[in-house]
Amino acid sequence: MRSLSGSIEEGKDHLRGLQDQIKAARQIVLIGGGSVGIEFAGEIASQYPKEKSVTIVHRNPQLLSKSVPAKLAAKLHWQLEAAGIHVVLGTEVDSNIVESGRGRVDLGGGKIIDADLIFNTTGTKTNTSLIAAADANVLDPNGLVKVDAHLRIVPSLDGGFFDGKTYFAIGDCAASLGPQTYFKAKNDATFAAKNILASIFKKSLTAIKAPLDVIVVPIGTTGGAGKVPFGIVGAWPTSLIKGKGLFISNFDSLYLYSASTIVSTIMPILAVTVVITAWWSYHHVGLGRAT
C-alpha cells in the first residue's frame, strides 16, 4: 500500500486513491491475519459499518501467530466476526496477488471469492540489503543484523567491514530482544542513543533490556484486544492505549513540530536569555567600564 515515490505529496495522493477504491468496493479480501490485517479490517468496518464484505484469510490456525496466547487471538476473532468481518483460518493463498487489484481468491474446497479489492497484509520483509552489501556474514538465518548486548553489529569471524565497535543496528532490521513492534524500536533507539554517546565519551556501555512484552491490536476506535504485562485486555483498554490515535501522537512529539510550536517553545527561552544577558552585561561589562 506504499507509494513507489519518495514524494510526500505523491504518497498522500496514493493513499487518497486507495481510500476511493475502498469506498467504491463491495467485496474486499485481506491476505494475512496478523496485526496489519486485523487493524486494516477494523478500520474499514468502522468507516463503513455493515456496508462491505471484508474477509481475512490467514494461514495459521489462529489469528496473529501460533506464539501469541490463544485467549488474545480468540478475543480478536470474536470481535471481528461481531463487526461483520469474515475470518478464514488455516488457509494459505498466493500473497503475490496484485495488491489492491480485482481478482478471484481460491480458498480451496470449491470456495472462491470474487473480490473487488485484494490487499496483501502479510507484512513486509525487512530490507537489510545495505548491510548485506557491506558484509552478508553479519546477518542471521532470518536475514536480520546480528547485534551484541549493546546493539553494536557483531563482526564476521573473518573480519570484514564491521569492527564490532563503530556500527549499531536497531529496530526491525536488528536481531535484538523482543518482537518487531513499536515498543521494540523505541526500546532499541533509547539504548543505542545512550551507548553511542557513551562510546564517544569513552564511558561504559549499557546492556539492552527487553522491551515491555506488549501486543496491542485495535479493531476500529472502540474494539480490539491486547497482551500487557498483567494479562490479556479487551476492547476498552485497547481503545485507550492505541485505538483512538494509533500512537500517532507519540510521533508528533518527535517529528512533526509546526512553526508555531517551535516559536512558542523557543521564544520564552530566548526572552529569558536576553534578560539574563542584559543583566550580566549591566553588572559586569557596564560597571567594569564605569570603574
Q: Which CATH superfamily is domain 8-124 in?
A: FAD/NAD(P)-binding domain (3.50.50.60)
- The order of strands in the sheet holding 231-233 is 215-219, 223-228, 231-233
Predicted local distance difference test score (pLDDT) of residue 273: 59
Q: How many CB atoms lie within 10 A of CB 205?
A: 18
Measure the CA–CA gap between 53 and 187, rounded to whole angstroms: 38
Mean pLDDT, range 15-33, rounded to an integer: 94
Cell of 248: 500517532
Element (H, E) at 265: helix 259-280
pLDDT greater at residue 6 or residue 55: 55
Measure the CA–CA gap between 242 and 226, rounded to whole angstroms: 10
As a whole number, the mean pLDDT across the chain is 85
Confidence class for position 80, pLDDT limits 50, 70, 90? very high
pLDDT single digits (tens) 237-283: 999 888 777 777 666 666 655 545 555 555 555 665 565 566 556 55
Pairing of strands 85-88, 215-219: unpaired
pLDDT single digits (tens) 38-49: 999 999 999 999
Give the residue extent of every domain in the chain: 8-124, 129-213
Rounded CA Rg of the chain = 25
pLDDT single digits (tens) 94-111: 766 655 467 888 888 888
Mean pLDDT, range 11-37, rounded to an integer: 93
> What is each CA distance from 222 to 183, 203, 236, in whole angstroms?
22, 47, 7
> Is a pLDDT exceeding 50 seen at residue 290?
no
Write out the DSSP string of 49-75: TTTSEEEEE-SSSSSS-TTS-HHHHHH
pLDDT single digits (tens) 185-227: 999 999 999 999 999 999 999 999 999 888 999 999 999 999 9
Pairing of strands 231-233, 85-88: unpaired
Residues in the chain: 291
Predicted local distance difference test score (pLDDT) of residue 252: 66
> Is a pLDDT exceeding 50 seen at residue 288?
no
DSSP three-state, residue 28:
strand
pLDDT single digits (tens) 139-195: 999 999 999 999 999 999 887 899 999 999 999 999 999 888 888 999 999 999 999
Mean pLDDT, range 50-58, rounded to an integer: 95
Mean pLDDT, range 34-41, rounded to an integer: 95
Cβ–Cβ < 8 Å for 154, 148: yes
Confidence class for position 6, pLDDT limits 50, 70, 90? low
Pairing of strands 223-228, 215-219: antiparallel
136-150 burial, b at 16+ Cβ within 10 Å, e below that, comes to ebbbeeebbbbbeeb
Which three-class secondary structure string do you get for 80-129?
A: HHHCCEEEECCCCCCCCCCCCEEEEEEEECCEEEEEEEEEECCCCCCCCH
- pTM for the complete prediction? 0.77
